[in-house]
Amino acid sequence: MTQEEQWERMFPVNHKTVIVIDHSQSFNMSSNEMINLDSIGGSKHAAAGNRIQLFSKTLWTCAVEAVLEYCRIVLDLFPCDEKVFSLVSADDEARVLTAWFSEDQIYDQLLKVFRDEGAPVDSSLSLNGAISECLTMLMYLTTKQAALLDKPNQLRNRARVVFLTHFDSDEAVNDFALSFVKETKTRNAAKLANNYSEFQVHHCHLVLVCVRPLGTEPRVTERDSVRFGDLLRLSVHNCQAGESLARGLVNLTRQHYNLASTCVQDIPMKEETPAAGQQQSNRNYDVELLHEASAHADYVAMGSFSSMALAGEHLIFPESFGLKWLTPKNQSVDLLNCARVCRVTAADVTARHSVCLINFLRGPPSRFVMLESKQQSPGATTNSSSNTRRVTHMLASHAGDIYLHVLEPGKPLLEELPPAAESRCLPTAGCPIKLTDYRTSDFRDVMKRSRLFPARETGDYPTLPRVRAVRHLERSTLYWPLTINDSVLLSASSSAKSLLSLLSEESLDDEEIKACENLVKKFLDMEVRGEPITVSNRSLRSARREDLYRLLFMELDSMLCRYALVSDGHAQVLTYLRRFRPPEPLSSQPTGLNFLDNIRLQQLDSDSQQQQLSATEPVSKRSRVASGAAAPPPAPVRSNQSVQDWYEDRVRSATSGRRPEFHGRLVCPAGEIYPLYQHLAAAAAASTDLQQQQQQQ
């Protein structure tokens, strides 16, 4: 990668663009594109006998409409302050209409400044004045660039200038480019070092759009990326006024911002007004959508883009990615695998079918539509019958913006759960747990409540949306057992889920506090009535009812303690519980791992110990057991035995048959190696000392 490519990747020239429009008398001439109002008004004027004469727009009007469409596409596709514009009107003097401010990057503001500017007057064009105002705006930093002023050596001021005017010859174009380079070098040298409001221009892409009336011949030669040193890159385009100019500038967005086109085909829409005596019918339409080219990157890499590309005069871009409309159905989109997501905008925003599609997706309520593409089988031709269609994209509305979701290629539309196995192991405890024990539905509910949507840049938020999202996820998972077996509270009653849902809120009002207290009271009433607790953990099925309620309220108290720091309302719920059920003393609470995890681990150790004993016992004994001989009965569980005593008995019985632990592992500090055969080393040392004493005597 060259140095120029690196700078383009870090500081792209399309970050800020100065658009200059010729406002001199030369742009006050007719475009020669005639408009017939009879075709717009239908047969009403013809029936009344009123014939409206044809009229044409001026070059200025055509240029303004094309620039507005250029800006609309970019503003729709990119967030505020990511791609910014500055409009300049040039005649005998240049005037800056909009700057880099966020309030100027609004389509309605662009309409307002052009309305205030008015039509061209009888004046000539001053190219030097246009260059001076362009450089003034280029040297002013945008908000994104100003954030890097603390590292000026790493900042590169790169930009683009789009100039809509006309030149009589190629020599005039070269002279203008050389004047631009000369003035840029002069302004860079004269810039004050301590003036942080301006910054030198490192590179500029100058795009000259030579506008001429319809039916006239071009006077300049088109050029693409002609360099005038490292400071300037020149491109020249010829466009006829009218529809050709609008299409030309829209196609420039494809080059300048790396855009692509997707054509949604066969959209059923009703006709506006049926003819007299006819019923209202449906007709299929196509809508062209523009977006970033990265949405098609996967299909281009796989080589399947060409088989799905469309071309035609009805399209704005030279080629478009064809996708077929699927009638919306009621299906869940929570498990869709999306490889890429990008904003889209209509290529022709004034067309009726484009407006209908946008209004349908935006709702209310917001909707989504699945799109399918033609998949070409290996070795098959484009028109082969073996080609199949598959759902590959989705159009959806989020916060008022339309997005194109590119589904993961090569994967099914909806991911199924893993194949049901007998058991799966936790990575931490190594205990077998069935797949049905995992809280899959609760995970899904949290994912639904934690979905993110784009936030408005101009919104006045007391807390940043991304900070609120992180806090919401933290509150939702403050108490989160992985499985149902890990919690007596969740197994006891469905009220625990309702309580967790309320506690995950940022704050609790009086009604929500009352609802939480009522849910806590349900658990207290269950204990008073002596209702049995059904637990799925087989290690607790033999436990006494009193011990299960003791575990339940210990877990409930621990959960409310975690949420008590969220707000005062959460703390009131904990106070309500402790008013009727004080917390257990620390000496009586289990230590180390979770109490249920201890029991499960002990059960696993007991099963493993039993397998080892059965593997080492004589074959004759095992044969007697297998033949049906009476096996020794298990140790009885005393009815007055507590869960803690029962757990300690299980630990003693499981460890009683084990070999004693290695002495070196018990006494050696962590990280050190215990030396073996120390008695031999001591005997050898004593023998050596004895020999030395005998020699001395």
State pLDDT tens for residues 107-156. 999 999 999 999 998 889 999 999 999 999 999 989 888 888 777 777 88
The reported pLDDT for the residue numbered 387 is 58
Q: How far apart are CA 166 and CA 216, in angstroms?
A: 12
**Could you tell me the pTM of the whole model?**
0.65
**pLDDT tens per residue across span 176-191:** 999 999 999 998 888 7
More confident residue, 516 or 651: 516
Please name the helix (run of DSSP H) or strand (run of DSSP E) that holds residue 340, with its range, or none: strand 338-343
Instruction: Cis check for the bond before 365: say yes or no (omega within 30 of 0).
Output: yes
Once rounded to an integer, what is the mean pLDDT over residues 25-43?
Answer: 76
Q: Find the mean pLDDT for residues 476-485.
A: 84
Is 451 or 124 the better-scoring residue by pLDDT?
A: 124
Single-letter code of the amino acid located at 494: S
Helix (H/G/I), strand (E/B), else coil: 637 = coil
Q: What is the pLDDT of residues 311-362, one digit of tens each?
A: 777 788 888 888 999 877 655 555 577 888 999 999 998 888 999 999 988 8
Burial label, 45 (beta-carbon count in 10 A; 0-12, 13-18, 19+): middle
> What distance in Å separates the CA atoms of residue 223 and residue 396, rounded to the nearest whole number?
40
- pLDDT classification of 539: cutoffs 50, 70, 90: low
pLDDT band at 273 (very low <50, low <70, confident <90, very high): low
pLDDT confidence tier of residue 433, bands split at 50, 70 and 90:
low
Q: What is the pLDDT of residue 49?
A: 53
Cα–Cα distance measured from residue 299 to residue 305, given in angstroms and rounded to the nearest whole number: 5
pLDDT at position 416 over 50? no
Residues 136, 137, 138, 143, CA torsion sign: positive
Segment among 116-120, 235-239, 679-683 with least mean pLDDT: 679-683
553 vs 582: CA distance, rounded Å: 9
Give yes or no for residue 619 having a pLDDT over 50: no
The band of 90, judged by pLDDT with boundaries at 50, 70 and 90, is very high
Q: Count Cβ atoms below 10 Å from residue 183 Cβ, excluding itself.
A: 15
pLDDT(222) > 50: yes
Cα–Cα distance for residue pair 159/151, rounded to 1 Å: 19
Top mean pLDDT of 139-148, 204-213, 378-387, 687-696 is at 204-213
CB 498 within 8 A of CB 490: no
Instruction: Assess whether pLDDT exceeds 50 at residue 401.
Output: yes
For residue 531, what pLDDT is reported? Answer: 86
Return the CATH superfamily for domain 3-253. von Willebrand factor, type A domain (3.40.50.410)
Q: In this predicted structure, what is the pLDDT of residue 375?
A: 63
| Beta-bridge partners for 19 | 87, 162
How many Å apart are CA 265 and CA 270, to the nearest integer?
Answer: 15
Amino acid at the residue 462: P
pLDDT tops 80 at residue 562: yes
> Please, where in the chain does CATH 3.40.50.410 lie?
3-253
Q: In the predicted model, is pLDDT for residue 618 greater than 50? A: no
Q: What is the pLDDT of residue 354?
A: 92
Q: Long-range CB contacts (< 8 A, 24+ apart) of 637-645?
A: 637/542, 639/544, 642/544, 642/547, 643/540, 643/543, 643/544, 643/547, 643/550, 643/551, 644/588, 644/590
Across the range 24-50, mean pLDDT stands at 71
Instruction: State mean pLDDT over 465-494.
Output: 84
Cα separation, 109 vs 63, whole angstroms? 17
- Going by pLDDT thresholds of 50, 70 and 90, the confidence category of residue 85 is very high
- The rounded distance, in Å, linking the Cα atoms of 136 and 271 is 52
The pLDDT of residue 668: 75
Per-residue pLDDT, 661: 67
Helix, coil or strand: residue 287: strand
Q: Given this model, what pLDDT does residue 431 score?
A: 47
Helical ranges in 278-392 per DSSP H: 297-302, 305-308, 352-362
Report the candidate in 566, 586, 563 with the shortest Cα–Cα distance to residue 574: 563
Residue 279 or residue 287, greater confidence: 287
pLDDT score, position 376:
57
**Distance in angstroms (rounded) separating the CA atoms of residues 155 and 149:** 7
Q: Is the pLDDT of residue 209 over 90?
A: yes
| Distance (Å, whole) CA 139 – CA 158 | 10
CA distances from 132 to 15, 384, 513, 626 (A): 20, 60, 66, 101
| Average pLDDT over the chain, rounded to an integer | 79
Residue 457 has pLDDT above 90, yes or no: no
User: What is the model's pLDDT at position 5?
Assistant: 78
Q: What local confidence, expressed as pLDDT, does residue 94 receive?
A: 93
The answer to whether residue 18 scores a pLDDT higher than 90 is yes
Which residues, other chains included, contact 615 with Cβ-Cβ below 8 Å and sequence gap of 6+? none
